[in-house]
Amino acid sequence: MTRPPKNLSDPRERSGSPEVYRRSWFAPLLQARLARRLGLPNPSSAFDRLGHRQTPTFISQKTICSGEDRKPMSKALQEVRVGRKTLWALFDSGAARSYVASTALPRGVPRGRDPRPASVGLGGRERRLQDWCGLVASIDGCSFSFKAYVISDIGVEEGRRVDLLVGATVMEEWEIGLKPKGRRLVLDLRQLRKREFVDF
């Protein structure tokens, strides 16, 4: 006897459904992780490789768009505290790595250097990455540590120069989410505040 298809409107049948994952705030993070495990160069093809039809990214089951082209947003802006400095940070689930502007780098942070530089496209420009640092950031009393590559500048968002870009890898590690608030996205810090994580 063939089992009837799941009714996604029924909460009892939604758990574990690929459609639910695709419509969640962490869909870009899940796609990036799947792409790494499957060896795919394009994270957006991860769901297709598993046999699921690719659909636009949804965040908290509500699409937030910006600009005249109405592209879905996957980023949020937030002031964060790093050392004695307050930085204007962009949390972008579409970026794999994290970056900090050299002019905003606090004094005394641990520094490192990769053996060989790498070329990465960022903000419409090609950047060479090699120098990095370890940062501890704090938002509303919630702290998290991460590695960020040091670059000359990141860009401008909402009329302010961005000091720090926090990418999908850090957001996934610390379970920092995005949720809609009006016509924009804000950070969801519930899991970070609990500090209860599951790795495996």
In this prediction, residue 199 has a pLDDT band, given cuts at 50, 70 and 90, of: confident
pLDDT above 90: percentage of residues in the chain: 53
pLDDT tens digit sequence for 31-88: 666 566 555 555 554 444 444 333 333 333 333 344 444 444 589 999 999 999 999 9
Lowest mean pLDDT among 29-43, 121-135, 176-190: 29-43
In this prediction, residue 20 has a pLDDT band, given cuts at 50, 70 and 90, of: very low
Q: Which domains does the chain have, with CATH numbers?
A: 11-58 (no CATH), 71-194 (2.40.70.10)
CA 155 and chain centroid, separation: 17
